[in-house]
Each structure stands twice: as C-alpha cells, then as structure tokens.
Amino acid sequence: MSVSIALFTADLRLHDNPVLRAAQRDADEVVPLFVRDEGVRAAGFDAPNRRAFLADCLHDLDAGLRARGGRLVVREGDAVTETCRVAHATGARDVHVAADVSGFAHRRERRLREALEADGRRLHVHDAVTCVLAPGAVTPQGKDHFAVFTPYFRRWEGERPRDVLPAPRAVSVPESAESGALPARSDVADVSPRLAPGGEDEGRERFRRWTSDGVDAYEDRHDDLPGDATSRLSPHLHFGTLSATELVARSRSRGGAGAEAFVRQLAWRDFHRQVLAARPAASYADYRTRHDSWRRDERAATAWREGRTGYPVIDAAMRQLREEGWMHNRARLLTASFLTKTLYVDWRVGARHFLDLLVDGDIANNQLNWQWTAGTGTDTRPNRVLNPLTQAKRFDPDGGYVRRYVPELAATDALRGGRVHTPWKLPAEERRALDYPEPIVDLTDGLNRFRVARGLD
Ligand SMILES: Cc1cc2nc3c(=O)[nH]c(=O)nc-3n(C[C@H](O)[C@H](O)[C@H](O)COP(=O)(O)OP(=O)(O)OC[C@H]3O[C@@H](n4cnc5c(N)ncnc54)[C@H](O)[C@@H]3O)c2cc1C
C-alpha cells in the first residue's frame, strides 16, 4: 500500500482542499496530519483565543474524517521533525502542504523540503489553497507585486480561479500513524468570554446564513457599527475552515451588489498576502517609511488597550476585542488611526495587542492593515486621520455600539442616543458620578502633533 501525507496548516477543512485531494490521488492511503507546532509558540503567535478556536477546528476535522472512515493524526513538537517521524513510521514517500506567505511558513517549507529530500521523500507545495489567487499570479509589468489595491483588484477580477473541489467521500488512514490527543478548548485559559466557536461545520453554516440573509445588504451596511452586518467569517478564513476560492465562486454565482462588495473584500486578503510574500519584512518594518519618530507613551497605550481613553467609540471597540476576540472592521480602522495618528504611537504596539487577542489574527492582514492605517503601508492617502467623534456620529449615530460594550455609559439616562459619544458634556455633578475617564488627548492637539511630526505644517 502506498502512503502519502496531507499536512494541514491553514486549511483545516475537507471541502475544497487541494492538499488533501492531491495526497489522496497520490497513494492508496493518506495520513491527514496536523502538528501543533512549538515554533508557533516560540514566535509569540500562540494566543489563547486562536488556540481555543483551533481546538474546535481540529475536533471538527477529526469528526469529518471519521465520518469518512479516517481520522486526524495530531502530533506536537517541531512541525518538520514530527512530519518526518510520521513519514518514517508509515512509509509515506510524498508530503503535501499548502503554500503560505509568512516568513515563518517559508522557513518551515524550506526546512521540510530539505529534511524530506535528505530522506528520499518529496514535498509538494500547493498554491491557491489559503487564498484565491497565489501571490505572483498577477503582477504589474516589471514588478514582483502590486503596491496599490485598485489596479491589483482590476487584474484579480479578470483572472479565473481554480475549480472548487468536493469533499472526499472516503479517507483511508494507515494504522501505523500514531496520534497524540486532540487539544480541547476547555484546557485553554484566558479565552475571551464571547469567543465564537470554530470548525468547518460551523463555518459552513455561518456562510450559509450569510448567503441567505446577510450578503445582500452588505454594501449598504458593512460600516454600520451597531448593526454588526459583516460576515464574521474572518476566523474561518484565517484557519482555512472555509475556502476563499469557494466563497468567491458561490458569491459570484449568487450575484448582486452585496455579493460583489463581499468578493472585493476577499480580494483585499489576497492583496495583502501578495505584498507580504514579496516583502516579508513588512511584518515588522515600515513598508514605506515616513521617517516617524513615534512617541513612547505607555500610559496612553495602556489606556488604549484597556478601553479607557475617554472616547466612547474607541473604548467600545477595544472592549469588543477583549470580550469577543474580534472587532468590527470600521472599529479596527478607528482604533488604529487613534493610536498611530492621534496618539502618535508606533503601529507595532497596536499590531502586537491585536495579535494577542484577535481570533482572526493574521500576519499578512493584521500587519499590513496596521501599516495601511498608520500611513506606512499601501494607503495612497497616508496622512488621513479619522476623527473618532465624526466617525461615531456617522457609523454609530444612536450610540448602540457604545452602549453594548461600555456598560458604565449605557446606564446613564442623560447619555441617551448619540449623546453617549460626548460624556464630558454632562453637567459637572453627573460627570463626577460616572466611573469613566476624561479624554486622554485633545483631538485638535493630537492632529496638530501628527501633522508637525509628518512635516505637513
Ligand atoms: C488595524 C487592522 C487590523 C486588522 N487585522 C486583521 C487580522 O488580523 N485578520 C484579518 O483577517 N483581518 C484583519 N483586518 C481586516 C478586517 O478588519 C477584517 O478582516 C474584518 O473586520 C473581519 O470581519 P468579517 O469577516 O466580518 O469581514 P467582512 O467585511 O465580512 O469581509 C469578508 C472577508 O474579507 C476579508 N477582509 C475584509 N476586509 C479586509 C481587509 N481590510 N484586509 C484584508 N482582508 C479583509 C476578511 O477575510 C473577511 O473575513 C484588520 C483591519 C485593520 C484596519
């Protein structure tokens, strides 16, 4: 019996999985392998919310494989060492894995290839598993990647993605493949109290609901903070319990302005991935330096992290992040602009905090969106500053978003409706009775400081 290994990484699904499909085509038996990689922990990327979500995903993947006659093989340790051990124990000659874009993934791929080849085995790396179009699939003339989204999107739209693959009907796993225990969500400490559940079944059901009663209103409502009218599929895309290729195909066949707008957001994901693939250093260094001398202000950064800046919409967003391990996109833009521009604190400080809590925390999307907001990335208007009050009036006019996450403001009668955004306007006595801070910065002062720092005034 010939054996091959499907090494799962950010593609924890049975539907539309080219890695699993190729491993099955290659051999009589396949080892569906996931390694809980100690390198992820060493890289500081092992956040409790993602670990808990991952545990759900692995349980679901195992259940899906068992329903097809197989099972998931889980190992813990160094991904390369463990994969080689499994290959050795089962006699697998070929290992299949998805291509990925981070420096971490590149190093893992290189080490894995070398170790397997030294042992007479082969590594097959599959493109367009964790994204729709592989990095480099479209490029501007004479360059290795697009630095601006709009021209990228024009090319992206014109390409035909690969076909969507069905889930396998049966999976045959060799008995010699020994597995460790599956991790359990309940073993993970410090998880956000309202973290969403993970797993392919959960992701598919969420996408089904989104298609039947969410996507049509997406274009009009995606910025509506209290409406919470985005798909919330980002953790599933991050862990690959849903395939971006399948989401694009199904959204396109449904059609309509909402579905088109949703597909455009998925293209943003590919855009950031092709930037990071070409410029791995963008995960920690400015993509386009503006020669910033960021302020070190631990007091302000702590207030920002804790949701105690005195600006209710910012504080609501930061508390949503802590409570759910997720934050609305408009709120991410507001909080990132507030930290990097109004407070003029280094984008890396904010990106680190997001990575510590976000269940969808993703090197390409997180670091490059932070850079976009800080004006060191791909934004063509790098010095735009979002005013939290103007934005709150526009995207949370009745204050429903703030009241949901900032209970000390929700309980005050005098702060009904949009007045919740300006608690400092309360009469002095009522203001003193509130356990809520004064604004930590004057918005005009913050704006002026930023403009001077960037040499705009
Ligand atoms: C400072 C900052 C940090 C961010 N960090 C992350 C992160 O770590 N992980 C992450 O997945 N997204 C990140 N984003 C992008 C975006 O905010 C989230 O993808 C989105 O809010 C997820 O919610 P949703 O699934 O409901 O999105 P929807 O609006 O329903 O969009 C559908 C999908 O499109 C993709 N998408 C949407 N907007 C973007 C974008 N701006 N860039 C790239 N892909 C996008 C996501 O995969 C998302 O799930 C960040 C944005 C900012 C401004």
Burial label for 154, CB within 10 Å (0-12, 13-18, 19+), is exposed
Going by pLDDT thresholds of 50, 70 and 90, the confidence category of residue 110 is: very high
pLDDT for residue 261: 98
Q: Can you give the C-alpha Rg of the chain in angstroms?
A: 23
Judge if the beta carbon of residue 224 lies within 6 A of ligand 1. no
Give the domain ranges of the chain.
3-127, 131-161+201-278, 298-453
Q: Which of 314, 311, 289, 300 is nearest to 371 (CA)?
A: 289
- Cα(190) to ligand 1 centroid in Å equals 23
Atom of ligand 1 nearest to the CA of 235: 11
CATH number of the 298-453 domain: 1.10.579.10
> Within 10 Å of residue 397's Cβ, how many Cβ atoms?
15
Alpha-carbon span 171 to 30, nearest angstrom = 7
Judge if the beta carbon of residue 251 lies within 6 A of ligand 1. no
Q: Does pLDDT of 180 surpass 90?
A: yes
Judge if the beta carbon of residue 231 lies within 6 A of ligand 1. yes
Going by pLDDT thresholds of 50, 70 and 90, the confidence category of residue 43 is: confident
How much is the average pLDDT of 409-418? 94
pLDDT for residue 36: 96
Architecture field, domain 131-161+201-278: Alpha Horseshoe (1.25)
Same fold yes or no, 3-127 and 298-453: no
> Within 10 Å of residue 110's Cβ, how many Cβ atoms?
12
Give tens-digit pLDDT for 372-389: 999 999 999 999 999 999
Longest alpha-carbon distance in the chain: 80
Judge if the beta carbon of residue 4 lies within 6 A of ligand 1. no
- Cα(273) to ligand 1 centroid in Å equals 13
pLDDT for residue 26: 87
Which of 228, 234, 251, 378 to mutate to test ligand 1, by most ligand atoms within 8 A of the CB atom? 234
Q: What is the DSSP letter of 168?
A: P
Percent of the chain with pLDDT over 70: 100
- Cα(361) to ligand 1 centroid in Å equals 9
Q: What are phi and psi of 141, to 5 degrees?
A: -55, 125
CA angle 93, 41, 91 (to 5 degrees): 10
Query: Which segments of 45-116 are extended strands (E)?
Result: 73-77, 94-98
pLDDT for residue 457: 83
Give tens-digit pLDDT for 221-268: 999 999 999 999 999 999 999 999 999 999 999 999 999 999 999 999
CATH number of the 3-127 domain: 3.40.50.620
Q: Does pLDDT of 41 surpass 90?
A: no
Q: How far is CA 340 from CA 114, 295, 297, in A?
A: 42, 9, 12
pLDDT, mean over the chain: 97
Please give the span between the terminal C-alpha atoms of the chain, in angstroms, as a whole number: 73
